[in-house]
Amino acid sequence: MLIDRGFKVAVTYLLPEEATALESDMGLEEDQLIIRRVDGTDPEAVDAFFSEATEAFGPINLMASLVGGWAGGRDVAETDDVRLNRMIDLNVKTAWNATRAAIPLMSDDWGRIVLIGSKHAVEAPAGQAAYNMSKAAVAALGRSVATELLDTATTCNTLLPSVINTEATRTALPYSDYVDWPQPEEIAEVINFLGSRESKAVNGGTIPVSGSALI
């Protein structure tokens, strides 16, 4: 995908084993890959990461903000501030920090920003209002950025996945039917297209990537 197209990659991680796995899977040389432990909720740390990446690799063609999280099981009246603030931090602040840092560093030739919302930003099921609200904010951020950058070579779109078929989500939801959940690789294919010159006609979109999943 992106690597096959010659992209140089700068990526963040949280757990050391994630960095080890990424480095092994990508198989890139040191001058093609930057991996750093970055707290996406810390704007100064995010700014420093983007500055390092562009100093090493040049202007950005694709920025994909993939950090996020879910917390549910509570109706609005039962949701405490800790849970609310956690969803705002994980989903809104991380996307905001990454997007704000990236915009001045996007390539004048062509640039793509991809954010990760959720289909629940639109459907808003009960019992997870804080999560729904935070992902709706990400979608609003994507539309705002697309409008602000209309006169530039950069587009911005937001993907709306359902529950993604990963080991972590299967463990968290052991009794769910995950057969129809989208695979991470399938979502990556969509990002791969959006992160190309050919996607320039797609801008300000909220794009479902839920396959046939119902949740």
- Give pTM, 2 decimals: 0.91
Of 32-36, 45-49, 115-119, 207-211, the poorest mean pLDDT is in 207-211
172, pLDDT greater than 70? no
HEC-encoded secondary structure of the chain = CCCCCCCCEEEEECCHHHHHHHHHHHCCCHHHEEEEECCCCCHHHHHHHHHHHHHHHCCECEEEECCCCCCCCECHHHCCHHHHHHHHHHHHHHHHHHHHHHHHHECCCCEEEEEECCCHHHHCCCCEHHHHHHHHHHHHHHHHHHHHCCCCCEEEEEEEECCCCCHHHHHHCCCCCCCCCCCHHHHHHHHHHHCCHHHCCCCCCEEEECCCCCC
pLDDT digits (tens, 9 = 90+) for 102-138: 999 999 999 999 999 999 999 988 999 999 999 999 9
> Domains in the chain, ordered, with CATH?
9-209 (3.40.50.720)
**pLDDT tens across 187-202, in order?**
999 999 999 999 999 9
Question: pLDDT tens digits for 52-92?
Answer: 999 999 999 999 999 998 887 789 999 999 999 999 999 99
